[in-house]
Amino acid sequence: SPMSSNRDPGLQIFISILSKNASLDEAREAFVSTIENLASQPPTAEEVERAKASVLKPLELSFTDSTRLALDL
Protein backbone atom coordinates (compact mmCIF):
# COMPACT_ATOMS: atom_id res chain seq x y z
CA SER A 1 0.00 0.00 0.00
CA PRO A 2 1.23 3.58 -0.59
CA MET A 3 1.06 4.38 3.11
CA SER A 4 3.39 1.52 4.03
CA SER A 5 6.31 2.83 1.99
CA ASN A 6 9.03 5.06 3.41
CA ARG A 7 8.01 7.95 1.19
CA ASP A 8 6.38 11.02 2.64
CA PRO A 9 3.67 12.35 0.32
CA GLY A 10 4.10 15.80 1.86
CA LEU A 11 3.91 19.24 0.36
CA GLN A 12 6.45 20.27 -2.26
CA ILE A 13 7.23 23.88 -3.05
CA PHE A 14 8.86 24.88 -6.31
CA ILE A 15 10.08 28.39 -7.08
CA SER A 16 11.76 30.12 -9.94
CA ILE A 17 13.57 33.45 -9.85
CA LEU A 18 13.94 35.34 -13.11
CA SER A 19 15.96 38.31 -14.17
CA LYS A 20 14.01 41.37 -15.28
CA ASN A 21 14.70 40.71 -18.97
CA ALA A 22 13.81 36.98 -18.88
CA SER A 23 10.80 35.70 -20.79
CA LEU A 24 8.04 34.80 -18.37
CA ASP A 25 6.37 32.52 -20.95
CA GLU A 26 9.60 30.61 -21.63
CA ALA A 27 10.33 30.30 -17.92
CA ARG A 28 6.80 29.07 -17.20
CA GLU A 29 7.06 26.47 -19.98
CA ALA A 30 10.42 25.18 -18.70
CA PHE A 31 9.18 25.21 -15.10
CA VAL A 32 6.00 23.24 -15.83
CA SER A 33 7.84 20.80 -18.10
CA THR A 34 10.48 20.13 -15.46
CA ILE A 35 7.89 19.46 -12.75
CA GLU A 36 5.78 17.26 -15.02
CA ASN A 37 8.85 15.17 -15.92
CA LEU A 38 9.98 14.55 -12.33
CA ALA A 39 8.30 11.13 -12.17
CA SER A 40 9.95 9.87 -15.35
CA GLN A 41 13.24 11.74 -14.85
CA PRO A 42 13.83 12.00 -11.09
CA PRO A 43 16.75 14.01 -9.74
CA THR A 44 20.04 12.18 -9.30
CA ALA A 45 21.38 11.36 -5.84
CA GLU A 46 23.99 14.09 -6.37
CA GLU A 47 21.30 16.67 -7.17
CA VAL A 48 19.31 15.67 -4.08
CA GLU A 49 22.38 15.95 -1.85
CA ARG A 50 23.26 19.35 -3.33
CA ALA A 51 19.71 20.58 -2.69
CA LYS A 52 19.74 19.27 0.88
CA ALA A 53 23.06 20.98 1.55
CA SER A 54 21.80 24.29 0.16
CA VAL A 55 18.86 24.18 2.58
CA LEU A 56 20.59 22.75 5.64
CA LYS A 57 23.82 24.79 5.64
CA PRO A 58 22.17 28.20 6.27
CA LEU A 59 19.96 26.60 8.91
CA GLU A 60 22.95 25.09 10.70
CA LEU A 61 24.81 28.39 10.52
CA SER A 62 21.85 30.23 12.03
CA PHE A 63 21.98 27.92 15.07
CA THR A 64 25.63 28.81 15.70
CA ASP A 65 24.79 32.50 16.02
CA SER A 66 23.08 32.88 19.41
CA THR A 67 21.96 36.45 18.73
CA ARG A 68 20.33 35.43 15.47
CA LEU A 69 18.74 32.42 17.11
CA ALA A 70 17.30 34.60 19.89
CA LEU A 71 15.85 37.04 17.37
CA ASP A 72 14.30 34.23 15.35
CA LEU A 73 12.56 32.85 18.41
Q: CA of 56: how far to CAs of 16, 41, 47, in Å?
A: 19, 24, 14
Please provide the size of the chain in residues.
Answer: 73
2-41 confidence digits (pLDDT tens):
445 566 677 788 888 999 999 999 999 999 999 999 889 9
CA angle 65, 57, 63 (to 5 degrees): 25
State the Cα–Cα distance between residues 8 and 29, nearest whole angstrom.
27
pLDDT of residue 11: 76
36-70 confidence digits (pLDDT tens):
998 899 999 999 999 899 888 888 877 777 776 67
pLDDT greater than 50 at residue 1: no
pLDDT of residue 33: 94
Q: 0.75 exceeded by the pTM?
A: no
Long-range contacts of 30-36 (CB under 8 A, 24+ apart): none
